[in-house]
Amino acid sequence: MERLRYAPSPTGPLHSGNLSTALFTCLRAKTLDAELYLRMDSLDPVRCKKDHEESILRTLRWAHLKFEGQTVYQRPDDPRFKKAFYYLRDRELVYPCFCSRKQGIVRTELGNPVYKGTCRHLSPQTAQSQIAAGQPHCWRFRVEVNDITLRDLAAGPKLIRSEDWGGDFVIWRRDGFPAYPLATVVDDMSMKITEINRGMDLLAPSAAQTLLFHAFGANIPRFLHFPLLTDEHGDKLSKRKKESTPERFFSSIREFHAFWSRTFKFPMDEISSETPDEMALLKAACRQNASFDLA
C-alpha cells in the first residue's frame, strides 16, 4: 500500500502555500489510491503552539481534506529520536560541533551558508574533553559525498551539490532536541511513507535526507517536488506575509493545480463527496525496510 503524509509545522496558521501542498498531496494520494496521513511536525518547543495546531486543523477541515486515522503529533522528546541519534553516533556517522552559528560558516557565490568542517577532524579525545567541560555543542552528520543525483518524479534527475544543503548538516541541536532532518526521516521510516511531496525549494534538503535513509538501511521514499505558489511579485508565499491566507489566494491555488492537471494528465476526481463546488474545481496531480529498529 502506498503511504503519503502531509506534515505542517504548527508555528503559525496555514498560508496559501501550505494549503497548496496539502491539496497537492491529497490529490496525489487519490491518484495512487494511497493512504494519506496528517502529521504535526512540532519540534520547536518555543514556536510550535497548541493554538496553531488547532488553527491548522480548522483550515484543513474548511478545505474538506481527509486523512487516515488520528493525527500524528511529533514531539521533540520522543525516545525514537534519541535512539536514532545513538545509532548514528555509535557508527561514527556524526560528530560533535562546538562552533557557534557564525563560526565555521562560509558563503557560496549564491550566498548559501555552508559548514566548512571546523570540528569534523577533532580527535575523539579533544571532543570528549570539551563535552565533559560543558562546552555547548550540536551534532553534525558526516557527509562523505560531493553531490547526489536526486531522481525526482516531476523534475527528473537533479544533481544536488553538498554545498546546496550546507555540507555536514545538524541532526541534534545544542539545546538537546533533534534537528528536523533526523526527526522527519525517523518519522517517515516509522510511518512507512513511500512518497514525499514538497515544494521545489526543498530539493536540496531532500537530497541530504536520502543520506540518512541510507545510513539507517531504509528504503528511500520517492520524492516529488512541485513549483511554488508565489505572489504577484514572484515571491514565495509564507507565514510572514499576512495577506497570504488560504481564503485570499484561493483562485491562485486553483489555477496552480489546474496547471498540474493539464501538465501531467492524471485522472482527477473530487477530494471528497462533501466537497463544496469551489473545492471540486481544485483538480491537480503530477505525475525498502529499515535495518534500524524503531521499536
Give the residue with greater pLDDT, 229 vs 196. Answer: 196
Closest CA to 29 of 222, 169, 213: 222
CA–CA distance, 202 with 198 (Å, rounded to integer): 7
CB 68 within 8 A of CB 29: no
Tens-digit pLDDT profile for residues 74-105: 999 999 999 999 999 999 999 999 998 888 88
Q: What's the pLDDT at 3?
A: 98
Q: What's the pLDDT at 266?
A: 46
Res. 269: pLDDT tops 50: no
Q: What is the mean pLDDT of residues 218-225?
A: 95
CA–CA distance, 144 with 208 (Å, rounded to integer): 11
CB 146 within 8 A of CB 217: no
Q: What's the pLDDT at 286?
A: 23
Q: Cell match 511554488: residue?
A: 228
Rg of the chain over all Cα atoms, to the nearest angstrom: 20
| 92 backbone dihedrals φ, ψ, rounded to 5° | 55, 35
Q: What's the pLDDT at 232?
A: 60
The CATH topology of domain 3-280 is Rossmann fold (3.40.50)
Domain ranges of the chain: 3-280
Q: What's the pLDDT at 194?
A: 98
Confidence of residue 235 (pLDDT cuts 50, 70, 90): low
The amino acid at 157: P
Q: What's the pLDDT at 251?
A: 56
Work out the mean pLDDT of the chain and round it to a whole number.
82
Confidence of residue 155 (pLDDT cuts 50, 70, 90): confident
Q: What is the mean pLDDT of residues 253-276?
A: 47
CB 35 within 8 A of CB 255: no
Tens-digit pLDDT profile for residues 34-69: 999 999 998 888 888 999 999 999 989 988 889 999
Q: What is the mean pLDDT of residues 233-238?
A: 60
CB 43 within 8 A of CB 74: yes
Res. 19: pLDDT tops 90: no
Q: What is the mean pLDDT of residues 242-262?
A: 55
Confidence of residue 279 (pLDDT cuts 50, 70, 90): very low
Q: What is the mean pLDDT of residues 172-190?
A: 97
CA–CA distance, 93 with 214 (Å, rounded to integer): 12
Res. 161: pLDDT tops 80: yes
Q: What's the pLDDT at 273?
A: 31
Res. 271: pLDDT tops 60: no
Q: What's the pLDDT at 228?
A: 72
Tens-digit pLDDT profile for residues 141-152: 999 999 999 999
Res. 255: pLDDT tops 80: no
Confidence of residue 180 (pLDDT cuts 50, 70, 90): very high
